[in-house]
Chain A
Amino acid sequence: MGDILKIEGLNFRYPESPRNAVSDFELSIPEGEIAVLAGPSGCGKSTLLRTVNGLIPHMYGGEYSGDVIVAGSSVKGSSMRDLAQTVGFLFQNPENQIFMFTVERDVAFGLENLGVPREEMRSRVDEALRLLRIGDLAQRAPHELSDGQKQRVALAGVLAMRPKLVILDEPTSLLDPKTASELVTLVARLREELGTTFVVVEHRLDLLVGVADRLVVMDGGRKVLEGSPRDVLFGDDAEAHGVAIPAVTRVQKALTESKGGRAVAGGLLTPSELASAVEGRRR
C-alpha cells in the first residue's frame, strides 16, 4: 500500500515567533498504520498535526515551506472542504467539538456541512454510532454524557465523514485509566474493520505500544527518533528526549543490566509479553 501521509522538508514558523515550531520535518506513513507521535510538551506536536489537516496554512498564517501530502494531494493546494473528508481530527477536549444538542445531530454535523443527502446521512450516522457502540446515546444531550462518552461521540462525528486518516491529539488526557485503555482497543478495532490510518499524539505510551506500528519522537520541532516502538524504546536516546518508557520495558532493562543480559530475552513492551517471557524461563 502507498503512503497516506508524506511530509517533505516541512518548516513552519508562527507569525512573530523567533523560531520555527516545526523544522526540516520528513515523515512517511503507509496506509493502515497506527503511528504514535511522542515528545515533550511544546515540542511542536500540535503544530505538526495542524499542518496535516490543513488548519495550517489555511486558518493560521505564518512562514511555511516544504510540503505535506495527504492521500496524494498537497495540503497547501487542497481546500478545507476536501481535507475535512480525508483527514479526521479528534481534538484534545471533546467538549469543544460537540456542537449540537443531541448526539446523533452532532455526529451528522460534518455531513450536514458537506450537503450530504438525508438518506445517506442517516445511514452513515447510524453506522458511526454502531462502530463506536453508542447507539443508545443517540438522543442524549452533550451535558448528559461522561467524558469517555463525549470522546466517543466526537470520534463518531469524525468517522461519519469517512476519513482515510484520523488524527488523535492526546485522546486519553481527560480519561480515567479504564476508559483510556478502552479507547486504545477501539482504535485498534477500527483500524482492523475500516483500514483507517491513525496518527496518535500520546504521552501514556504504556497504553499504545501494544497496537502501534511506528513511534515517532519529536523534540524542539524536529524529528529525533523514528522506528518500531520496540526499536525506539530499547534505544539509548528515547529517555533523553523525555519519552515515558513503559514500565515493562524499564523492568526488562533493569534486569538485563543487573544480570549481564541473561535475564529475559527479546524486547518486551507489554505486560502480556513479560508474562509469557517469564513463564518460558520457568519451564
Chain B
Amino acid sequence: MMWLSGGFIFRKGYSFYHRLDPRAKLLNSALMFVTTLLARSIFEMVLVVAFMVGLSAAATVLKRVARTMAFTALFSGFIFVVNVLFTRDLETSVLYATRFVAIVVSTSIFFITTSPDELEQVMKMFRLPRDVVFAFVTAVRFIPVMMLDTIQIMDAQKSRGLELEKGNLVRRVRNMIPILIPLVVNSVVRSGELAEAMEARAYGAAPKPTSLLEYRARRVDIGVACASVVLFALAAYSFYFVIPVQFP
C-alpha cells in the first residue's frame, strides 16, 4: 500500500516541469483531464496516455507515475468487468477502464510535481478561507510526524506483547485499537500545543496576511500554459473532426 500511495506524494525534484509556476501545472493537468474525457476511441485514449507518459518522463517522474497506474489498474479492472457485464461491449469497456487510469494520471502528475508550498499558493488563488488553507498546510506538514508517531507506538505496544500480525480479520482490526488510541491522544495534545504556538506568533492578527513567497509567471510558464492550450485545442479538434470514429 505504501509503495502504491507514493504516486500522489510530492518529493523534491529539479526538472523543468517541477520548477514551473504551479498555475501553469494546474492548467496543464486540468486540460489533460478534460482531454481524457473527450477521447472517444481506444486509439485516441492511447494517444492521450502516451502524451502523459512522455511528459512524466520529461519531468523525471515516470517511475512514480507508473506506480499510480499500477495502483489505479486495480480499480480500472473492476470498472472493466462491470462494464462488460452491463454493456456487453468490449471496446467501450476498455475505453472506460483506460479513461479512469488516464484521469488519475493527469491529476497525479500535478500532485507529484507540485510542492505543498505551491499547493498552498494555488489554494489561496482560489480564495479559499485562510483557516481552510492553514488546516490543509498543517495536515500535510504533520504527515511525516504522525507516521513516526505511529511507528513508535507500534513498537511500544509490540514490546508489551501486542501481536499485530496474528488472528483473523476481526482480530487484526481489534488489534489496531491499542495503536489508534495513543495516536489520537497524541494528536489532541499536539493540536493544543500548535494552537498555543499559533497564538504566540500572531496567527489571524492582520486581516490581510502577506506572503514571503511571490509567484510571478515567467516567460517559460506562460509558454507552457499557451502550449497546453494549443495542444488541447488540437486534440479536441482532431478527436471530433479528423480521426474517424466508429461507435458501434
Contact = CB atoms under 8 A, between A and B. Distances in A.
Contact of B201 (A58, A93, A143, A157): A157
Contact of B210 (A54, A79, A121): A121
Interface string B132-146: 001001101100110
A contact residues, range: 35 or more
A58 B199 contact: yes
A117 B115 CA distance: 24
A55 B197 CA distance: 10
Contacts of A112: 209-212
A81 B145 contact: no
Contacts of A80: 199, 202, 205
Contact of A118 (B116, B206, B211): B211
Nearest to B10: A101
A91 B202 contact: no
Contacts of B206: 81, 113-115
A58 B204 CA distance: 14
A57 to B, nearest CB: 12
B155 interface: no
A97 B204 CA distance: 16
B121 to A, nearest CB: 11
B169 interface: no
B201 A109 contact: yes
Q: Is the interface of A mostly helix, strand, loop or mixed?
A: helix
Interface residues of B, number: 33
Contacts of A58: 199
A204 B198 CA distance: 28
B117 interface: yes
A59 B212 contact: no
B196 A55 contact: yes
A84 B144 contact: no
Nearest to A85: B202
A93 B197 CA distance: 10
A148 interface: no
Contacts of B193: 91, 93, 96-97
B208 interface: yes
Interface in B184-208: 190, 193-208
Contacts of B140: 101
Interface of B: 115-117, 134, 137-138, 140-141, 144-145, 190, 193-214
Given A84-B205, A96-B194, A118-B212, 12 more contacts: A50-B196, A80-B202, A84-B199, A84-B200, A91-B193, A97-B197, A97-B200, A99-B197, A101-B117, A101-B141, A122-B212, A158-B200
27 contacts: A50-B196, A53-B200, A54-B199, A55-B196, A59-B196, A80-B199, A80-B205, A81-B202, A84-B200, A84-B202, A84-B205, A89-B197, A91-B200, A96-B193, A96-B197, A97-B200, A100-B141, A108-B212, A111-B212, A112-B210, A113-B202, A113-B206, A114-B209, A118-B210, A118-B211, A118-B214, A122-B212
